[in-house]
Amino acid sequence: MVGFTEPAIDAADETRVKALIDKAVCTSVLEREEILALLRANTWQAESLFSAADQVRMETVGDTIHLRGIVEFSNFCGRNCLYCGMRVGNALVERYRMPTDEVVRICESMRGLGLKSVLLESGEDPTYTVESLCKMIEAIRKNTELEVSLSVGDRPAAELQALKEAGAGKYLLKHETSDSALYERLHPEMNLSDRMRRLGELKKIGFEVGGGSLVGLPGQSIHSLVEDLLLFQGYEVDMAVIGPYIPASGTPMALEGGTWMRRPTVTLSVFDKKHTVAEFVLKLLALTRLLLPETRIPSTTALASFLPQGREMGLLAGANMVMLNFTPARYKELFRVYDDRISIRETAEDALAAVRTLGDKLGRRVC
C-alpha cells in the first residue's frame, strides 16, 4: 500500500467488526487494538462503519452542513517543513501578503453570501505581529460580525491570549502525525511535545481548538493513525481535520527517487478490495465521529482534490462541515501547501453552489 511502511493486513472477521462498531456507537470508547481492527476492516465492513458514523452524526449534530470561508492572507513562512510547498526553503514560490482592508472586504462578501464564520490562514509569518493580527480580527468583527477562526501557526501563549481578547474564538493547530520520530523528521527544529503543549495552552486560554492529521505520509504506520485518533480524543478537540497527504512542488518530499514519494497512486473509489490512502481517511473520519460525536469534522478540500466525489464521500462518512476558499485568484495559486488544489479550479461561489446542490441531494440543510 503506497504511503505506509507495512502491507495491507487481512480484515477482522465480520462478527467482531459489527460488535466493535456497536460498542463505539453506544460508548464512544474503543481500545487501541479495536481501532486497529476497524482500520483494517474490508470494504463491505467499512460501509457499515460509514453508515454508523453517518447515523451518529445525524443524531448528535444534526443534518446541517456547516460552511466556513477561508482567506489565505499570507504565504510567507519561517518554517521549513519537508512536505509543505510554502516552506521557507522553496524558491519556486512567489510570496505575497494581503493588506487588512482587502481581507475585510473579502469577509464582507462572505457575509453577503450568508456565511457566518471565517478562517484566517497563513504561514508562520513574523511580519504579522500580534498587534497587526488583532487589528485584523477587530476590523472583521466590527464590519461583518463573522466568527473568526485562526490558523497562523505556533505563537507564544501571551500572543494567543491577545488574539482571543481581540475576538478570535477558534484556533486550528495541526500536528500532522502523532509519531514523534516522524514528526521531527518532517519538521526541522520542531518536536511533537511542544506542539501538543501549545494545543493544551490554547484550550486553557479558552479557544475552541482544532487539530489535524495527514494520512499517507512516507514512513507513516497504521499504528500511528490509531494514535492520531486517540490524540484527538485525549485533547477533546472541537474540530478534527483529517486529509490525505498530497506532495507539493519544490519540497524534498516531492523529489523523484530517494526515500521520498511523488503523489500516491490510489484507486478512485474506496469500494475496492485494496486499502487506499483515501479509504483510511474516510475510516478515520468515521471513527472520529464515533469517538467524538459532537466534534466538527470537515470534509476537506484536500480530500476533494485527491478523490473524485471526495467531498460527498466525506460527508457520508461522518463529516458535517465544508470549507470554502475566498482567497482571490491572483493569490490562490501561490498558497501552495500542496499541488492540484481543487479550490484553484473553482471559485468560492461555484463551491458554494456545489455544496448547496450536494445538500439537496443528501437531504441536508446548508448553513
Q: Does pLDDT of 333 surpass 70? A: yes
pLDDT at 147: 98
The DSSP code sequence of 185-236 is HHSTT--HHHHHHHHHHHHHHT-EEEEEEEES-TTB-HHHHHHHHHHHHHTT
pLDDT at 273: 37
**pLDDT tens digits for range 263-297:** 333 332 333 334 589 999 999 999 999 999 999 99
The DSSP code sequence of 241-301 is EEEE----TTSGGGSSSTT---SPP--S-S-SSS--HHHHHHHHHHHHHHHSTTSB-B--H
CA separation for the pair 17, 194 (Å, rounded): 36
Kindly indicate the confidence band of residue 342, based on its pLDDT and cuts at 50, 70 and 90. Answer: very high
Kindly indicate the confidence band of residue 25, based on its pLDDT and cuts at 50, 70 and 90. Answer: very high
**pLDDT tens digits for range 194-243:** 999 999 999 999 999 999 999 999 889 999 999 999 999 999 999 999 99
For residue 5, tell me if it sits in a domain. no
For residue 7, tell me if it sits in a domain. no
Residue 118: which region, alpha, beta or left (left: phi > 0; alpha: psi -120 to 50)?
Answer: beta
For residue 6, tell me if it sits in a domain. no
Q: Which three cell numbers stand for residue 345?
A: 479550479
123 in Cβ contact with 77 (< 8 Å): yes
> For the domain that residue 258 is a member of, what is the CATH number?
3.20.20.70
How many structural domains comprise the chain? 1
For residue 66, tell me if it sits in a domain. yes
Kindly indicate the confidence band of residue 363, based on its pLDDT and cuts at 50, 70 and 90. Answer: very high
pLDDT at 276: 85
Q: Give the percent of the chain with pLDDT over 90.
A: 86
For residue 84, tell me if it sits in a domain. yes
pLDDT at 44: 85
pLDDT at 43: 83
Q: How many CA atoms lie within 13 A of 240 on its CB side?
A: 30
Q: Does pLDDT of 1 surpass 90? A: no
Residue range of the domain that includes 352:
14-366
pLDDT at 266: 34
Higher pLDDT, 242 or 11: 242
For residue 1, tell me if it sits in a domain. no
Q: State the average pLDDT over residues 25-48.
A: 94
pTM higher than the cut 0.85 = yes
pLDDT at 193: 97
**pLDDT tens digits for range 87-113:** 999 998 999 999 999 999 999 999 999
